Amino acid sequence: MRIIRCKDYADMSRKAANIISAQVIMKPHARLGLATGTTPIGAYQQLIEWYEKGDLDFSEVSTYNLDEYRGLSHDDPQSYHYFMCKNLFDHVNIDLARTHVPDGSDPDAQAACASYDALVKEAGYTDLQLLGIGNNGHIGFNEPDDAFSKGTHCVDLTESTIQANSRLFESIDDVPRQAYTMGVQTIMRARAILVIASGAAKAQAVYDMCFGPVTPRVPASILQLHTNCTVIADEAALGLCS
Ligand code: F6R
C-alpha cells in the first residue's frame, strides 16, 4: 500500500485526477471502476477541466460504478447513475453505452446483481478502481461484516451509513435502506486501486485500513493485501497515521 499525503482536498483531488488521467492516456480503452459520494467530486471536476483543455479523451473508456441504491431508477436525481452523469459523464466525450452502474430499478436483487457481476467479469475487471471510504471502513457499500463479500450483492445499509448519506437527501427517511454493490472480491480483482479520503471524520477508518488488522469488520483493510493499491489522503484524514 502506497500512501500519498496531501495538503488538503484540492491537492488530493488533483493528485487523484492525475493518476486517473495517466491511466486513460496510457490505455485509451481503459476500464475504470468509479465511485460516487462527496470525495471524488473534485477529482471529476479536474478531469472535466483537462478534457475541456483538450488533454484527455474519454471516447474509448468504459466505466463500472461500484454501487447503486435499490429502488431508484437511473433518472432519479438521488441515484448514483444520475450523480455520475451530473458530475462527470455529461461533461466529457464518454460514450454513455460504455458506462455501467448496477440497475437499482430492478426489483429482482439476485438477477440485477448477477447480471452486473457477469458484465464486470466479462469485461475482464477494471484497470483502475477508484474508491472512497466510509467512516466505518466500508468500500462500495460493503459494510462491516463477519466475512468479506464476493460478487455483486444486495446489502442492508447500516444506521451509520444511512446517517452519513442523509445529508444528500431532504430527510433521513428518504435514504434508501438497501443498495446493490460490487463485492470485495470483485473490487480486489482491479489491476490497480486508488483510495481517496479527506477530512478528520475519515481518520480512524483510514488508520484502520492502512495499519489495522485485515478484518471484514473494516472492509477496506483487505486493500493491504492488494499488490497495487495507492491511498491519496489529506492531512486531516491521515491525522492518526504519523
Ligand atoms: C460510493 C461508495 C461509498 C463512498 C463512501 C464515502 O460509490 O462506494 O463507499 O465512497 O461512502 O463517501 P463520501 O465520499 O461521500 O464520504
Distance from C-alpha of 41 to C-alpha of 173, rounded to nearest angstrom: 25
Q: Give the domain range for residue 115.
A: 10-120+141-191
The answer to whether position 89 is within a domain reads: yes
The answer to whether position 164 is within a domain reads: yes
Residue whose C-alpha cell reads 484527455 in the numeric block: 56
The yes-or-no answer on residue 235 being catalytic is: no
CATH number of the domain enclosing 51: 3.40.50.1360
The yes-or-no answer on residue 143 being catalytic is: yes
Query: pTM of the full predicted structure?
Result: 0.96
The answer to whether position 1 is within a domain reads: no
Assigned C-alpha cell, 190: 482491479
The answer to whether position 212 is within a domain reads: no
| Mutual angle of helices 41-52 and 9-26, in 10-degree steps | 50
The answer to whether position 59 is within a domain reads: yes
Question: Cβ(206) to ligand 1 under 6 A?
Answer: no
Q: 76-84: which pairs have CB atoms within 8 A and are 24 or more residues apart?
A: 78/168, 78/169, 78/174, 79/104, 80/36, 80/104, 83/36, 84/34, 84/36
Distance from C-alpha of 159 to C-alpha of 218, rounded to nearest angstrom: 16
Q: What is the pLDDT of residue 79?
A: 95
The answer to whether position 146 is within a domain reads: yes
Count of domains for the chain: 1
The answer to whether position 163 is within a domain reads: yes
Which residue's alpha carbon is at the smallest distance from atom 10 of ligand 1?
132
The yes-or-no answer on residue 117 being catalytic is: no
Distance from C-alpha of 186 to C-alpha of 117, rounded to nearest angstrom: 8
pLDDT in tens, 30-67: 999 999 999 999 999 999 999 999 999 999 999 999 99
Q: What is the pLDDT of residue 161?
A: 84
The answer to whether position 215 is within a domain reads: no
